[in-house]
Copies of this chain bind each other. A is one copy, B any other.
Amino acid sequence: MVDPLVMQGRLDRLWTSLEDESLDAVLFVDPANIRYLSGFSGSESLMLVEEGRRTLLVDGRYKEQALREAQNADVIEYGDKVEGIIEILKQKGMGRIGFESPSMTYAQYMKIRKGLPQELEMVPLERSLLFLRARKDKGEVAFLRRAAAIAALALQKTLAAFKSGMTEREAARLLDWNMIQEGGERPAFDTIIASGPNGALPHARPGSKSLAEGELIVIDYGVLLEGYNSDESVTVALGPPSVEARHVYEIVLEAHDRAIEVIRPGVLCRDVDATARGIIEKAGYGSNFVHGTGHGLGMQVHEAPSVSRKSEDRLEEGMVITVEPGIYLPGRFGVRIEDSVLVTADGHEIISCTSKHMMTL
């Protein structure tokens, strides 16, 4: 259970961020935000947040769980979700409510809109909610650290079992199993194990290709624990890699290390990206770094802030971001090196636990 004072702090911050909107309430549909603001961990519900009051709407499948988990919220069972929320909004006689426009679907919006009196205003909220969960409190950081530690233990065990001839899929299964064995709830996302030329696909799915001597293997994986995700990537060599592979690895590692060095409160996220990208560009591989340098990490694997070329986000104490530069050489190989990093009062702390020096198995 989240400390009641911490929970109250989250609600207070919500209302502070919405001060200018003069809202009577906010309607939440995103399960991560609902969990963050109530403790309820079910995957389907609606929550109406007024100042000083939260109303959680669930269907029969989740009622027991909601009564058990939701901290200080009224739990109401609905038959039909949209009808349920319309009825409550009418009963409460509200004038102006906000909603999560990046989570509510167009169809949900239209159904709710049609059921409400015209004078009730529905205000789309995007930017003002984007950073709701961005600054992690101590309890959250503890979960993120523990998830990262479990992940690293699982990786160690898995790497020890890697051998030439094992398929990527077998290797990914083993890593998934070890994450669960070490205490994770489940993998945070579809584990990537991409060897040789497959490493040039940033989001490759592990397949029937076998791990082969002399190839690089990109591993991107994470653990889910109590609603929080870890996210880390390593690139390892199965037997001595080529001179070129070593060279590319060192460039990516340099980009990764230098980008992490600049992390502290007040820094623009795009400057973190520019640091990593500058090193890769200078080495002549700019067009082979085909994604942003990183992203916020927490209850969702990708959340605010964005650590990309055009990001206008600024780092604040308590944010947790990934730093994951990569170089992808289509048809040949790829390298990605990723750590999750906590922004501290005066700098940063890496919370991933695996050394990023080149590892040859």
Q: What distance in Å separates the Cβ of A64 from its nearest Cβ neighbour in chain B? A: 5
**Is the beta-carbon distance between A203 and B110 smaller than 8 angstroms?**
no
CA distance A330 to B67 in the complex (A): 12
Query: A176 is contacted by which of B42, B59, B180, B291 (Cβ under 8 Å)?
Result: B180
Which B residues touch A106, using CB under 8 A?
A: 99, 101-102, 104-106, 108-109, 124
A330 to B41, CA, bound (A): 19
> Is A173 among interface residues, defined by CB-CB distance under 8 A?
yes
Q: A291's contact among B59, B102, B186, B190, by CB below 8 Å, is which?
A: B59
Asked if B104 contacts A202 (CB within 8 A), the reply is: no
Q: Complex formed: what's the CA distance from A246 to B202 in Å?
A: 52
- Are the C-beta atoms of B105 and A202 separated by less than 8 Å? no
Q: Is A205 an interface residue (CB 8 A)?
A: yes
Q: Is A136 part of the contact surface with B, judged by Cβ < 8 Å?
A: no
Chain B nearest CB from A201 CB (Å) reads 5
| Per-residue B-contact encoding for A56-69, CB less than 8 Å = 1, 0 else | 00011111110000
How far apart are the CA atoms of A104 and B109 in the complex, in Å?
11
Q: Does A2 contact B (CB under 8 A)?
A: no
* Docked CA distance A203–B107 (Å): 25
A173 to chain B: closest residue by CB: B180
CB distance from A6 to the nearest CB of B (A): 22
What's the Cα separation between A181 and B174 when bound, in Å? 9
Q: How far is the CB of A338 from chain B (nearest CB, A)?
A: 13
| Contact (Cβ within 8 A) B61 A203 | yes
| Cβ-defined contact, B65 with A201, below 8 A | yes
Q: A65-B205, A101-B107, A177-B177 are in contact. List 12 more A-B contacts (CB 8 A).
A: A41-B205, A42-B203, A60-B290, A61-B202, A62-B203, A64-B200, A65-B201, A101-B106, A102-B107, A106-B108, A106-B124, A186-B190
15 A-B residue pairs with CB within 8 Å: A59-B290, A60-B291, A61-B290, A62-B203, A64-B201, A65-B203, A99-B106, A101-B105, A101-B110, A103-B105, A105-B105, A106-B108, A110-B124, A173-B181, A177-B180
